[in-house]
Amino acid sequence: MQFRFSDSLKNVRPSEIRELLKYASAKDFISFGGGMPNPLTFPMNDIKQIMDDVLAQYGALALQYGNTGGLNELRTEIKTLVYDTEKIKTSEQNIIVTSGSQQGLYELAKVLVNPGDTVITEEPTYVGAISAFDANKTEMHSIPIDNDGMKTDLAEAEIKKLTAEGRKPKFIYTIPTFQNPTGITMSLERRKHLIEISAQYEIPLVEDNPYGELRYSGSRLPMLSALDKDASVIYLGTFSKVMCPGLRMGYTIGPEDFINKFNLLKQALDLSSSTFSQYVAWQYLKRGIIKQQIPKSIELYRKKRDAMLKALDEHFPDTATWSRPDGGMFLWATVDSKINTTDMLKDAVQEGVAYVSGNAFSPSRIQGSSMRLNFTFSEEDQIYRGIEKLGNLIHKKVGPLQSS
């Protein structure tokens, strides 16, 4: 039978990253593609011990259906965690456990946006947010970023314009710390400006913070949620980068009426997130293992970041520029405008190395000569070899005269 499909997905782009995952585990293939944590950081022994204990002590509950909002004990631990790490004050009823923070992105768009409504994002921004917003027929207005993060003066101008047109944005989406894909951290001044804009125009802020704990240099800046005095921020957190991604555990924090809507939608989406994963995450926090784990990840990833920066200095042409992130998992390189990084990806994969092309992260598709490079997954020698291969490809494409 010929199926007829709804037009609900007509704007949604297939994910390059999902495609690249195929190669990620192939032998000798060097992947700077996916945003994958290094498996060396997975606390394997602790997780084994926790799983054994959870089955022994809570088996009948941990393998059963659970509350849609999430395990109460886990929400209490999350409350403590975000206060300890980011000085965010919240309560259990403001927290909902999600199946990865990706689910949070989809849900908040569905709860806040009618088809055709506008939202503000960064340019470039997280590819999964673009998918989630496109799947809800959101009209994204993306604001360029520089080394201090989103250009909030441009954001304000865009909001003014849209508001005057009767199309006031439904929310402002930002990844202020170690942004995906650029690795850039928003300055304190811009953070404060964003809070002001939010209050003045009455537009909720969505603060996505998957990488905040992974800082390798520089000093911590206050999160929007900690600066917020008006319950105007929705905060997205995840266990994927500080425990492991395979249990699909994230959480969303927001005003109670928002969380209640979210809960209602989640009943339709998946009833609840994995009860078992929630018990594991709960014990992971309660036993304090997260506090031992994060410094280990930082030590490992700092070296990898430094290795990639060194390799770029050596192998990328002078015409290329790239970010120098203080944390997170990615840096962002922009090469000669003659090069289309989407086209070049085929050659790169042929050479056994992958990145994600700039336009995957671009709501306006204006990042055709950029690429996102993940530095957490590969070994240091792979990082050197992979960047050298990419450098050679770029040199070849730009031609010998332009190369350094």
Interaction residues for a copy of itself, span 262-301 (CB under 8 A): 264-265, 267-277
Q: Would you state the structure tokens that stand for residue 314, as one six-digit string?
A: 């050596």
Cβ closest to a copy of itself, residue 68 vs residue 342? 68
Part of the chain binding a copy of itself (CB under 8 A), chosen from 256-264, 315-323, 329-337, 339-347: 256-264
> Could you say which DSSP state residue 153 is in?
H
| Residue 118: CB minimum distance to a copy of itself, A | 13
Q: Which of 103, 182, 293, 362: binder of a copy of itself (CB under 8 A)?
A: 103
Q: By CB under 8 A, tell whether 230 contacts a copy of itself.
A: yes
> Which among 266, 238, 240, 239 is positioned nearest to 252, based on CA atoms?
238
Residue corresponding to tokens 């913070």? 209
Whole-number Å distance between alpha carbons of 215 and 229: 26
| Residue 316: CB minimum distance to a copy of itself, A | 28
Q: Would you state the structure tokens that stand for residue 27, as one six-digit string?
A: 């032998």
Cβ closest to a copy of itself, residue 51 vs residue 226? 51
| Residue 315: CB minimum distance to a copy of itself, A | 28
Cβ closest to a copy of itself, residue 18 vs residue 338? 18
Cβ closest to a copy of itself, residue 269 vs residue 298? 269
Residue 354's beta-bridge partner residues?
31
Name the burial class of residue 5, with classes exposed (0-12), middle (13-18) and buried (19+) by CB atoms within 10 angstroms of its CB: exposed
Q: By CB under 8 A, tell whether 93 contacts a copy of itself.
A: no
DSSP secondary structure letters along 240-265: TTTT-STT--EEEE--HHHHHHHHHH
Q: By CB under 8 A, tell whether 25 contacts a copy of itself.
A: yes
Q: By CB under 8 A, tell whether 374 contacts a copy of itself.
A: no
Residue 145 CB: number of other CB atoms within 10 A? 24
Q: Would you state the structure tokens that stand for residue 92, as one six-digit string?
A: 């259990």
Q: By CB under 8 A, tell whether 8 contacts a copy of itself.
A: yes
Site for a copy of itself in 190-219 (CB under 8 A): 198-199, 202, 204
Q: Which of 57, 91, 93, 114: binder of a copy of itself (CB under 8 A)?
A: 114
Beta strands 330-334 and 321-322: pairing type?
antiparallel
Helix (H) or strand (E) holding 70: none
Beta strands 118-123 and 30-31: pairing type?
unpaired
Site for a copy of itself in 324-353 (CB under 8 A): none
Cβ closest to a copy of itself, residue 171 vs residue 322? 171
